[in-house]
Structure 1
Amino acid sequence: MDDRKFRNAMGKFATGVNVIATEIDGEVYGMTANAFMSVSLDPKLIVISIGNRAKMLDRIRQSGRFSVNVLSCEQQEESMRFAGQKEFEDKFDFGQLGDAPVIEDALCQLSCEVYNEHTEGDHVLFIGKVNDLVLEDGDPLIFNCGKYRRLEAFEEAVK
């Protein structure tokens, strides 16, 4: 099968949108991603997947720390900024949670240290140990079939 067909198949799975961020020598770097999931409750571990050619790969290896910021449906602009889909003249102001830069008002901010890494195919899976987190109320930004979407609740059937 060709690469495009495989990507289209994977795009059928709706995901949340997050920004991975790290800091090196006072400079903060962010990257939009959707490959993220929880791994373990004890210890509290998550996994992110970074492409072999992504600049973020060496940055996370160098810093040993990163954050995962689950974006709200009001934060599509932030997603586009860190995906390189839209250019912005202003510098982005990050907050701080523990030792990691974070996106203010994200639905979830996770401050992590690299716990382990695994190379699989053309990506590296970073296992992150969650050291701190912040939760906010709101609806998530969703990505499905190459488009941003909002979560909509179904009304319960009347019995």
Structure 2
Amino acid sequence: MDDRLFRTAMGKFATGVTVIATDVEGDVHGMTANAFMSVSLSPKLVVISIGEKAKILEKIKQSQTFSVNILAADQQELSMIFAGQIKEPREVSFDRLDGKPVLAGAVAQIACEVSAEHLEGDHTLFIGKVTEIKLEDAEPLLFYSGRYRTLVEESTIPSN
């Protein structure tokens, strides 16, 4: 099977959009990703998948920390900046959560310490021990079939 067919099939899984961020010696690095999931409730663990060509890969290996910022519907531009889709330099400010860089306004900010890493194919899976969480009441940014999407609330029609 060819790469395009695989990518298209994987794009049929609707996901949230995250920005993964880490800090090395005061320099913040980030990238847009949708390869994120929860792993365990006890202990609280998540996993992110980072491609071998991603600049942030070595930064996370150095820092042994990262944050997952689940983007809100109004943060599509941030997703595009960290995905490299917007080439002009943009100033992005980061807040801190348990010392890790996070994006204000994200639906969820999740601070993590690396507890394990596994090389699988052309990606490294980082298991993160969650050290702190901050939530916002906002609609999430979604991605499906190569396009950004938003939730549409269904109205319930009472039956007679």
TM-score range, shorter chain: over 0.9
Aligned residues of 1:65 and 1:99 also touching (Cα < 8 A)? no
Tell me the secondary structure at the aligned position of residue 20 of structure 2: strand
Distance 1:121 1:100 in 2: 28
Aligned to 2:9: 9
Partner deviation per Cα, 1:34-89 (whole Å, 9 max, x = no partner): 00010001100000000011111110000000000000000000000000001243
Aligned position for 1:45: 45
1:107 deviates by 0.5
Taking the aligned partners of 1:156 and 1:119, their CA distance within structure 2 comes to 46
RMSD: 0.9
SS at match of 1:20: strand
Structure 1: distance between partners of 2:7 and 2:80: 19
- CA distance, structure 2, for counterparts of residue 138 and residue 90 of structure 1: 24
Number of residue equivalences: 159
Matches of 2:15 and 2:90 in 1, distance apart? 28
User: 2:18 — aligned with what?
Assistant: 18
Runs of 4 or more consecutive aligned structure 1 residues displaced over 3 Å after TM superposition? none
Show the counterpart of 2:135.
135
SS in 1 for 2:38: strand
- The corresponding residue for 1:76 is 76
Mark the runs of 5 or more structure 1 residues left unpaired by the alignment: none
- My pick for the range that moved more, 30-39 or 88-97, is 88-97
In the TM superposition, 1:117-156 aligns within 5 A as 117-156=117-156
Q: In 2, Cα distance between the equivalents of 1:154 and 1:121?
A: 40
Cα displacement string for residues 12-54 of structure 1 (whole angstroms, at most 9, x for unaligned residues) = 0100000000000110001000000100011000000000111
Tell me the TM-score normalised to structure 2 length: 0.97
Query: Aligned equivalents of 1:12 and 1:39: distance in 2?
Result: 22
Where do 5+ consecutive residues of structure 2 fail to align?
A: none
Query: Aligned in 2, Cα 1:96/1:88: closer, same or farther, shift over 3 Å?
Result: farther
| Percentage of identical aligned residues | 58
